[in-house]
Each structure stands twice: as structure tokens, then as C-alpha cells.
Amino acid sequence: MADRLWPAKKNGKGAIRTVAEAFFVPPEDVLARLEAPDLVLLDARFDLLDPAAGRRAYEREHLPGARYIDLERDASAPPDPRAGRHPLPPWPAFAARLGDLGVGPDGAVVVYDDHGGGFAGRIVWMLRAIGHERAAVLSVPFSVWKARGYPTTAERPVFRPKPPYPLSAAVRPEAGFATTDDIRRLVAGEAFGVLIDARDPERYLGLSEPIDPVAGHIPGALNVPYAALRDPDTGEIAAPERLQDVFRGLPADRPAVVYCGSGVTSAIVALALRAAGWADVRVYAGSYSAWVGDPLNPIARGAAAPGSGGIAGGGNT
């Protein structure tokens, strides 16, 4: 099965790994494969209020062999009012940076952060968008990895850069992302799907907005905060059956579009939807920051209307 992160094998109970395990990989699996030549670890720690903090944290300590990937320098274009605070970079530029980091078409890539997968998910979603299916998020944040006594180091890894990641003409990276025009069609009932807001409830409800100029949410959206994906006791991304509970009530037969503030933390929710069985999932790349960049776009506040289920779209495909 192409979606498996590791070569097919049986687990301790004799069962074959599920597709869900390809999206989120447990730390024990990574620990057992730290020396594997086909594994690339990417450290995606970041702080929106202090963009250099992630690099500093990496230089202090990181997983053995990990290379640092910067959300804003490596996985985003400059901010733009109509494209949001973290627009997607040109795909050739992203492919070139992957090559610099030693990422090629072969092998597995595991990405981690210390933000519940909120930054790592963006990198994994982008990797999968260009056709690299053997990409997953470490299911625990860096702080939990360290607290469990697993190894860390300050040593810079020695690796050989590769050519730019080959972009196949048969793979359309943009297919994994929705545009503002797509969202307008959803809101107007001209398209069919469910719209999910991955931000904190206070921001969704319009009670507070610390970053973007207008508080509220896109009309028709249902709030599923990305923090709900984590087990509150362990900090780990929940097991597949728990993820299904998180999304219970959402119609799995409808396409799903996920947004957040700027198209970053929405990706981890999109990955969780895929792990929970959703086949048609996209990330709104510009997200709320792009939506409010156009004053003509409508804004809603408060909870979704009773019975709406956060579902946008009237049935047209």
C-alpha cells in the first residue's frame, strides 16, 4: 500500500499497519529507526510572535539527525492582504529547498514541532501535495519526546544535499488547496462541502482576534479546534478511533475544506480528517487572513446556526 510510511510489517498484535498510521507516526517507531538511511527528520518548530525562536531552539537541541525547516522562509511566500499571512511559496522554490535539506522522492520524512503538530502538519501536507506520500507528523511534540527520555542532540547533522525535488507534471499540488473563490462558492451555496474552522473557539466566535483585523469566522463554518486532536493527558495526536469521535457529526461523504488563521494549523486538521477516513479534503491556503483581506467577504460571529452543522453549500458539485 503506497500510503504506508514504513515498509509493510506486522505490529505486536499481528496486524498490518493502517493507512491512518501513515499520517501520524508514534515516537517509538521513530526511535527504532533513527539510524535508518531512508529516514529524514525535519524540525519545524516555530513561533509566530518570534520567528527566530524555532531556529534557536533547534540549535540548542533537536532529534538526532534532524534538519531545520523554517515555516516562513522555506514553506511560505511573503504576506499579502489577499493571499494571507502565510501564502504558499512557488512550488519550484519549495522543491529546491527540499533538495537542500536532502529530501528526495525515495524514503520517509517525519516532521515534528513543539506546537501539537500545527507547524509540522503544514510541511507534511505540502510534501503530500507534491506527491511525496511517505511523509508524516511525529505524533508527539518535541517536549514530550524529550520528557520521555528519548535522545536529543545539539550536533548539526551531516548529510548530502540533493537536486530539487522532482515535480511531476502528473501531480497538481494546488489540488490539495482551496482558493478564496472556492470558499466564496461554498458560502454562496454554489458548491457542495463542509467548511471547518481550526482556530480556537474564542476566535471562531468572534470574542477575540489577536492577529487579524476583523473578528469572527467564515459564514457556515463549523469550529473544530486543532487542539482537539490531542490527547489531553499525553499531548499525543489521538488514535484513529478517537479522531473519528472528534469529527463525528460531519458528513464523510462531502468534500471538506479546512481553514485557520493563515493556512498553517489547518493542515494538521486536514491530515487528521484523512486519517479518520475522509477522502476529499483540502486546505484553504489563504485562510481567514486572506478572507478578511477583502472587505466584501461576509463575516459571521457566534456559533453556527442550529441545524446547520457548519455545512456550507447547497448541493451543486
CATH architecture of the domain with residue range 19-171? 3-Layer(aba) Sandwich (3.40)
3-state helix, strand, coil in the chain (%, to 5): 30, 15, 55
Residues facing 171 on adjacent strands: none
CB atoms within 10 A of CB 218: 24
What is residue 315's predicted lDDT score, i.e. its pLDDT? 31
Mean pLDDT taken over the chain: 89
C-alpha to C-alpha distance for 146 and 140, rounded to whole angstroms: 10
Query: Which residue among 137, 187, 243, 260 is the active-site one?
Result: 260
C-alpha to C-alpha distance for 149 and 78, rounded to whole angstroms: 38
At 39-48, the pLDDT tens digits run 999 999 999 9
Q: Characterize 287-303 residue by residue with b for buried, 16 or more Cβ atoms within 10 angstroms of its Cβ, and e for exposed.
A: bbbbbbbeeebeebeee
* Crossing angle between the packed helical segments 120-129 and 266-275, to the nearest 10 degrees: 60
* 174-312 has the same fold as 19-171: yes
3-class secondary structure, 38: coil
CB atoms within 10 A of CB 137: 29
CB atoms within 10 A of CB 210: 11
At 152-210, the pLDDT tens digits run 999 999 999 999 999 988 889 999 999 999 999 999 999 889 999 999 999 999 999 99
What is residue 252's predicted lDDT score, i.e. its pLDDT? 79
In terms of pLDDT, which residue wins out, 122 or 279?
122
At 54-113, the pLDDT tens digits run 999 999 999 999 999 999 999 999 999 899 999 999 999 999 999 999 999 998 999 999
What is residue 242's predicted lDDT score, i.e. its pLDDT? 87
Domain boundaries, the chain: 19-171, 174-312
Helix (H) or strand (E) holding 194: strand 193-197
At 116-149, the pLDDT tens digits run 999 999 999 999 999 999 999 999 999 999 999 9
C-alpha to C-alpha distance for 149 and 268, rounded to whole angstroms: 26
Whether residue 151 has pLDDT greater than 60: yes
What is residue 117's predicted lDDT score, i.e. its pLDDT? 96
C-alpha to C-alpha distance for 58 and 22, rounded to whole angstroms: 25
At 226-270, the pLDDT tens digits run 999 998 888 899 887 889 899 988 887 889 999 999 999 999 999
Mean of pLDDT values over 281-309: 86
Residue 25 burial by CB count (10 A; 0-12/13-18/19+): exposed, middle or buried? buried
Which runs of consecutive H residues, i.e. helices, occur in 10-50? 27-32
What is residue 5's predicted lDDT score, i.e. its pLDDT? 59
Question: In one letter, which amino acid is 310?
Answer: G
User: Which fold does the domain 174-312 belong to in CATH?
Assistant: Oxidized Rhodanese; domain 1 (3.40.250)
Query: pTM of the full predicted structure?
Result: 0.90
Our answer to whether residue 260 is catalytic in this structure is yes
Whether residue 314 has pLDDT greater than 70: no
Q: Sorting pLDDT into bands at 50, 70 and 90, what band is 6?
A: low
Task: Name the least confident of 7-11, 14-18, 258-262, 313-317.
Answer: 313-317
CB atoms within 10 A of CB 57: 18
3-class secondary structure, 255: coil
What is residue 311's predicted lDDT score, i.e. its pLDDT? 41
Which runs of consecutive H residues, i.e. helices, occur in 212-286? 240-246, 266-275
Please provide residue 237's backbone torsions phi and psi, each rounded to the nearest 5 degrees. -55, 135
